């Protein structure tokens, strides 16, 4: 198709299929450059021709050409188109890019181009639409929705557009919000009736998802009327006919529509996916896998990849390739967690793996998205009784779904039986009706198949499960209908075996054995009971009894091959290789021995490997070992040729390589076996691979990984209860010098296998080695060595006891008596030699104890001395404190006396002023007596003042005759007043000084110059400290008032 470019008023005709990029760019750049519309047209034609690189180059240069300054929006729009086209191209490249850094670069480029377009025109719709698509590529659906909603309020080149509505509708459809998507599609069609057929395709898809098949079919046919070559419309109609119509006519029409769509577009990934679905439905799983692999290799969106992985998983599931199926289901759910088919497939695989809890959780999540999916309901009903963690409330939540499903399919016996299982604990009456309905449906189906009648109730008993009959019988018995319960119980033949099997699995071997024997008594040809009794005897370690039950099972023709296989395994465990080979030969010659051919070859290979001599010191032994190993390797190879996924044979190959000394190759084989076992997610359990890999590590003296591998195998496969693996672990710990850990491991193993003499010998050997190393460690003068020496001697005695016991058994122990005798002598001598270090250690301990006792006594004496000094210090501090308190009390009393004297002086001044001589004399006498009493009190109050007491001074100071005349009394008072002038400055005056100066004042009161504070016949107050005395007087007046 020719390309016509408008260049500066002329049209240039170019052929984009033949013109080179340089010629095209030269033409576009000529005469100042073509307009932006010409660049866009050229780029789009190049893209239509498949020249994506040239398309990007042209658009990149067009995007760099800025519009003229001041250009109007119509002139700017082509530049916006160029930027947005280039941004959309980068976003699509990022969607298909798997390298993270390159993907981020493309998305950043697209975002930058959109921002440049926004700067050219803020009201333009295209940049927001492209930014929304970029957000979708990043996985930011919220950001995409905001962008599309913002674009709804904008215009495209000044005109209204439905592009934003269609983008938002597609987003809601992908989020399974079909109602909202349908509204947007209808609104877009009303806004633009001439919209392209894709709008009606969206309406049809939403209607189909919402269950409106009639509306969907009309919409698809309208699209085909508008565009007969529309492949999506053909696919939609094909889906309607294939998956909605259940009759043969609908399937025929759907297949025709699908073939027509494939002819129109054989590379369309949606056509290939639907064709893969159809192939699976028709049973062509290999073809479906090829188609799904083609889609997966083609790439595309995450949803398409998830659908492709789902189909790959279903195809592998149908082909029996369970590991691949599990991996594809996981990848599908990782890409799209809302898909229901891969979760259903994972639930089925979990059921096969006996992971009922995981299966129930997956099925519950499936039913949240598809509540009426019958297949998921049936599976959930079977799984729920096995999922012990499911509560009655959770079971009650799914009961309505089962009831609706049972009403929708009234002839489905599985649904009615599952409904009865759910209602058994919630609604017994409803459960009984459901069980009776299931029994009725099964009997009618069996009668129709046989062409007979079920009136006798026993013609089709073999078609009914014992479980269904048993459950119905129990509910009839609870309802009071014992006769009906008895009839149903009589038909449940295998119930007793299943019950015994459950008891055996729970570890109740005694009860299970009784059940099996009772069933054998009733049904002598029930060979399964013989086989289970043999397994119980094997678990108890009674190989002879196990062989007897297996031999009895061989007499029953239907169980002969299984019994021979069991016998061969028992002989191999006994290392009775001669009888094991005879049994294997019988197994291969049996009529139905073909189904056990792989087991027989593996057992024969193991037989050759076990028969090889362990000691290869002579040439003859080396030759015998080489022959046996070559035969074993050949048999392993044959098994692997027939089944390359047989990890048991691969493990055997690794064992042979390790035996011949090729440890590196053996290690690689064991690692591959271990990885295959782990990749099966528990379907194939191969503990031998873990143990053998640990053995290789041990042989290479890599003790840490060996110990870790043994420990993991014990925990993961043996529940820490395998004496053999514990023995290997103890050997690794012993070689790694972890003797305490080795001792603990061997002790545990001995508790599990108390009759294992090899274990007991290893325990004794470990005790001996640990005791010897303990005695060799430490200094002889170290008193802390005594506990270790005592413990070492105890372990030597224990080791001596073990060695002596094993030596006493003789050949029954399976050990060399000379070696045992040597260990006995060595332990005895070591124990005797240990007495010397023991005595030294005890002596050192005694000396240390004596020294410690002396130090303790010295410390006690120091403590007593410190306590005595502390007590004396406290006594002295108390005495000083009392002295201070007494001194303070004396000073307080002195102050109180002085204050009283101030008050008395004030009273005397008032009396003098009034001329009351009698009151003055009386007051003076009272003061004298008070002073005398105070002095006596002071005399007896403190020993420190005894020296100040003088009776003669007292007589001189206080004569017996009373004062003579008023003047003397007044003078005394005045003298006393003069005395008080110094109180404010010194309150420490003695009473003797105070009263002595009072007498002098009294004697000189009549003269003018008798005292500076006297005079005036005592009529005036003292001139000094007048304010202080006035305050005291005012206080006394207030008290008098």
**How does pLDDT run across 267-319, given as a tens digit for each residue?**
888 888 888 888 887 888 888 888 888 888 877 777 788 888 888 988 888 88
Cα 991 to Cα 979: distance, rounded to the nearest angstrom: 11
* The predicted structure's pLDDT at residue 72: 59
Matching residue, tokens 């992971």: 355
pTM over 0.85: no
pLDDT band at 1005 (very low <50, low <70, confident <90, very high): very low
Burial grade of 528 (CB within 10 A; 0-12, 13-18, 19 or more): buried
* The predicted structure's pLDDT at residue 975: 41
305 with 335: CB under 8 angstroms?
yes
pLDDT band at 1033 (very low <50, low <70, confident <90, very high): very low
Choice between 677 and 953, residue whose per-residue pLDDT is larger: 677
* Low-confidence winner among 95-99, 455-459, 670-674, 914-918 (lowest mean pLDDT): 455-459
**How does pLDDT run across 38-94, given as a tens digit for each residue?**
777 777 777 777 777 877 787 777 777 766 555 555 567 788 888 888 888 888 888
By three-state DSSP, how is residue 509 classified?
A: helix
CA 659 to mean position of chain CA atoms: 42
* Low-confidence winner among 125-139, 262-276, 982-996 (lowest mean pLDDT): 982-996
* The predicted structure's pLDDT at residue 515: 83
pLDDT band at 877 (very low <50, low <70, confident <90, very high): very high
* The predicted structure's pLDDT at residue 872: 92
**How does pLDDT run across 619-659, given as a tens digit for each residue?**
888 888 888 888 888 888 888 887 777 888 888 888 888 88
**How does pLDDT run across 389-423, given as a tens digit for each residue?**
444 455 666 677 777 777 777 887 877 887 887 77
Token representation of residue 685: 């359990």
Neighbours of 559 (CB within 10 A): 22
Cα 927 to Cα 162: distance, rounded to the nearest angstrom: 124
Q: What is the DSSP letter of 14?
A: E
Mean predicted lDDT score pLDDT of the chain: 76
Level-2 CATH architecture, domain 509-596: Alpha Horseshoe (1.25)
* The predicted structure's pLDDT at residue 785: 67
pLDDT band at 174 (very low <50, low <70, confident <90, very high): confident
pLDDT band at 9 (very low <50, low <70, confident <90, very high): low
Q: What is the DSSP letter of 812?
A: G
Choice between 543 and 490, residue whose per-residue pLDDT is larger: 543
- pLDDT mean over 849-862: 88
- pLDDT mean over 810-819: 81
Q: Is the pLDDT of residue 20 over 70?
A: yes
Percent of the chain with pLDDT over 70: 77
- pLDDT mean over 1013-1030: 43
* The predicted structure's pLDDT at residue 885: 92
* The predicted structure's pLDDT at residue 887: 92
837 with 789: CB under 8 angstroms?
yes
* The predicted structure's pLDDT at residue 879: 92
Q: Is the pLDDT of residue 906 over 80?
A: yes
Q: CA 110 → CA 24, 83, 88, 127, distances in Å? A: 25, 9, 7, 10
* The predicted structure's pLDDT at residue 18: 60
* The predicted structure's pLDDT at residue 845: 76
Cα 254 to Cα 243: distance, rounded to the nearest angstrom: 9
Q: Is the pLDDT of residue 915 over 50?
A: yes
* The predicted structure's pLDDT at residue 891: 92
Burial grade of 888 (CB within 10 A; 0-12, 13-18, 19 or more): exposed
**How does pLDDT run across 353-373, given as a tens digit for each residue?**
777 778 878 887 887 777 767
Q: Is the pLDDT of residue 553 over 60?
A: yes
Cα 343 to Cα 309: distance, rounded to the nearest angstrom: 12
Q: Span 612-700: which CATH code? A: 1.25.40.10
Burial grade of 141 (CB within 10 A; 0-12, 13-18, 19 or more): middle
Best CA proximity match to 205, nearest among 226, 184, 181, 241? 181
* Low-confidence winner among 598-607, 873-882, 922-931 (lowest mean pLDDT): 922-931
Best CA proximity match to 475, nearest among 440, 425, 438? 425
Token representation of residue 848: 């240390």
Number of alpha carbons in the 13 Å side-chain half-sphere of residue 155: 6
Cα 880 to Cα 427: distance, rounded to the nearest angstrom: 94
Token representation of residue 1025: 């400290």
pLDDT band at 876 (very low <50, low <70, confident <90, very high): very high
* The predicted structure's pLDDT at residue 911: 80
Cα 341 to Cα 325: distance, rounded to the nearest angstrom: 12
Best CA proximity match to 124, nearest among 92, 144, 150? 150
* The predicted structure's pLDDT at residue 949: 45
User: What is the Cα Rg of the chain in Å?
Assistant: 56
**How does pLDDT run across 757-770, given as a tens digit for each residue?**
887 888 888 888 87
Beta carbons within 8 Å of 475's beta carbon, 6+ residues apart: 424, 428, 431, 432, 435
311 with 277: CB under 8 angstroms?
yes
**How does pLDDT run across 417-458, given as a tens digit for each residue?**
878 877 776 777 888 888 888 888 888 887 776 654 444 333
**How does pLDDT run across 226-267, given as a tens digit for each residue?**
888 888 888 888 887 776 665 677 778 878 888 888 888 888
Best CA proximity match to 568, nearest among 554, 588, 582, 553? 582
Write the DSSP assignment of 219-238 as a string of letters.
HHHHHHHH-TT-HHHHHHHH
| Cα separation of the two ends of the chain | 136
Answer yes or no: same fold for 509-596 and 612-700.
yes
Q: Is the pLDDT of residue 527 over 70?
A: yes
Domain boundaries, the chain: 509-596, 612-700, 764-833, 883-1040
Q: State the Cα torsion 184-187-191-192 to the nearest 10°.
A: 70
Cα 982 to Cα 1001: distance, rounded to the nearest angstrom: 15
């Amino acid at each position: 198709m020719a390309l016509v470019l408008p260049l500066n008023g002329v049209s240039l005709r170019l052929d984009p299929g033949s013109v080179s990029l340089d010629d095209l760019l030269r033409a576009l750049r000529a005469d100042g450059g073509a307009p932006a519309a010409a660049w866009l047209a050229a780029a789009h034609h190049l893209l239509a021709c498949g020249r994506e690189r040239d398309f990007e180059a042209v658009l990149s240069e067009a995007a760099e050409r800025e519009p003229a300054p001041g250009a109007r929006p119509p002139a700017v729009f082509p530049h916006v188109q160029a930027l947005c086209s280039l941004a959309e191209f980068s976003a699509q490249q990022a969607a298909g890019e798997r390298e993270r850094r390159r993907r981020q670069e493309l998305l950043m480029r697209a975002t930058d181009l959109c921002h440049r377009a926004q700067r050219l025109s803020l009201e333009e719709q295209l940049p927001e639409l492209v930014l929304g698509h970029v957000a979708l590529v990043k996985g930011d659906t919220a950001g995409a929705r905001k962008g599309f909603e913002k674009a709804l309020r904008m215009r495209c080149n000044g005109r209204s557009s439905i592009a934003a509505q269609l983008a938002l509708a597609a987003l809601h459809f992908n989020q399974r919000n079909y109602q909202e998507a349908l509204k947007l599609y209808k609104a877009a069609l009303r806004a633009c009736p001439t919209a392209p057929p894709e709008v009606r395709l969206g309406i049809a898809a939403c209607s189909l998802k919402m269950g409106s098949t009639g509306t969907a079919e009309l919409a698809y046919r309208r699209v085909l009327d508008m565009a007969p070559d529309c492949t999506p419309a053909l696919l939609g109609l094909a889906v309607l006919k294939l998956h909605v119509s259940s009759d043969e006519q609908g399937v025929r029409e759907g297949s025709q529509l699908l073939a027509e769509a494939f002819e129109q577009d054989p590379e369309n990934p949606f056509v290939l996916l639907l064709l893969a679905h159809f192939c699976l439905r028709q049973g062509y799983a290999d073809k479906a896998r090829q188609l799904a692999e083609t889609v997966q290799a083609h790439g595309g969106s995450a949803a398409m990849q998830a659908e492709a992985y789902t189909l790959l998983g279903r195809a592998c599931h149908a082909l029996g390739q369970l590991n691949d199926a599990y991996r594809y289901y996981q990848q599908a759910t990782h890409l799209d967690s809302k898909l229901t088919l891969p979760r259903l497939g994972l639930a089925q695989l979990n059921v096969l793996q006996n992971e009922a809890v995981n299966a129930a959780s997956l099925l519950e999540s499936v039913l949240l998205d598809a509540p009426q999916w019958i297949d998921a309901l049936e599976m959930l009903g079977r799984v729920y009784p096995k999922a012990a963690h499911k509560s009655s409330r959770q079971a009650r939540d799914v009961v309505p779904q089962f009831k609706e499903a049972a009403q929708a399919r009234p002839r489905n016996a599985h649904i009615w039986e599952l409904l009865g299982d759910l209602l058994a604990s919630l609604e017994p009456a409803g459960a009984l009706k459901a069980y009776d309905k299931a029994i009725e449906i099964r009997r009618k189906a069996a009668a129709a198949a046989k062409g007979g009648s079920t009136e006798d109730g026993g013609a089709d008993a073999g078609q009914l499960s014992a479980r269904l009959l048993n459950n119905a019988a129990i509910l009839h018995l609870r309802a009071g209908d014992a006769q009906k319960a008895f009839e149903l119980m009589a038909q449940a033949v295998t119930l007793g075996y299943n019950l015994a099997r459950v008891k055996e699995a729970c570890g109740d071997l005694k009860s299970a054995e009784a059940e099996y024997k009772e069933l054998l008594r009733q049904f002598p040809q029930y060979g399964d009971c013989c086989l289970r009794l043999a397994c119980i005897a094997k678990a108890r370690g009674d190989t002879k009894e196990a062989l007897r039950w297996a031999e009895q099972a061989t007499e029953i023709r239907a169980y002969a091959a299984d019994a021979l296989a069991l016998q061969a395994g028992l002989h191999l465990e006994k290392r009775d290789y001669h009888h094991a080979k005879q049994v294997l030969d019988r197994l291969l010659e049996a009529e139905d021995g073909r189904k056990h051919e792989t087991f027989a070859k593996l057992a024969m290979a193991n037989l050759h490997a076990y028969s090889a001599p362990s000691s290869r010191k002579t040439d003859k032994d080396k030759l015998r070992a080489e022959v046996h190993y070559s035969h074993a390797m050949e048999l392993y190879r044959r098994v692997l040729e027939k089944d390359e996924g047989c990890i048991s044979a691969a493990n055997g190959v690794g064992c042979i390589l390790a035996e011949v000394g090729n440890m590196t190759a053996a290690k690689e084989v064991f690692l591959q076996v271990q990885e295959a076992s782990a990749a099966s997610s528990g379907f194939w359990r191969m503990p031998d691979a873990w143990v053998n890999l640990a053995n290789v590590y041990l042989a290479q003296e890599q003790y840490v990984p060996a110990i870790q591998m043994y420990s993991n195998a014990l925990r993961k496969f043996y529940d820490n209860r395998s004496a053999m693996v514990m023995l290997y672990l103890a050997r690794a710990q012993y070689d790694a010098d972890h003797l305490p850990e080795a001792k603990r491991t061997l002790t545990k193993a001995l508790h599990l296998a108390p009759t294992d003499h090899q274990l007991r010998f290893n325990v004794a050997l470990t005790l001996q080695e640990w005791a010897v190393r303990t005695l060799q460690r430490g200094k002889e003068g170290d008193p802390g060595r005594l506990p270790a020496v005592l413990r070492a001697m105890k372990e030597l005695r224990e080791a001596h006891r073990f060695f002596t016991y094993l030596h006493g058994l003789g050949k029954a122990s399976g050990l060399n008596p000379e070696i045992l005798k040597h260990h006995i002598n060595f332990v005895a001598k070591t124990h005797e030699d240990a007495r010397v270090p023991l005595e030294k250690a005890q002596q050192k301990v005694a000396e240390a104890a004596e020294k410690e006792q002396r130090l303790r006594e010295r410390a006690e004496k120091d403590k007593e001395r410190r306590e005595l000094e502390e007590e004396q210090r406290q006594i002295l501090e108390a005495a000083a404190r009392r002295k201070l308190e007494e001194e303070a009390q004396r000073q307080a009393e002195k102050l109180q006396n002085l204050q009283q004297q101030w008050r008395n002086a004030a009273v005397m001044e008032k009396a003098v002023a009034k001329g009351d001589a009698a009151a003055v004399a009386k007051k003076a006498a009272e003061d004298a007596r008070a002073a005398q009493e105070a002095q006596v009190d002071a005399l007896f109050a403190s020993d420190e003042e005894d020296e100040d007491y003088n009776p003669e001074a007292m007589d001189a100071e206080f004569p017996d005759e009373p004062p003579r005349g008023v003047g003397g009394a007044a003078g005394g008072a005045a003298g006393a007043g003069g005395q008080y002038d110094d109180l404010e400055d010194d309150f420490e005056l003695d009473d003797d000084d105070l009263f002595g100066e009072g007498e002098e004042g009294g004697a000189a009161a009549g003269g003018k110059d008798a005292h500076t504070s006297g005079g005036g016949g005592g009529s005036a107050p003292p001139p000094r400290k007048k304010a202080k005395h006035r305050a005291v007087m005012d206080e006394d007046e207030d008290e008098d008032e």
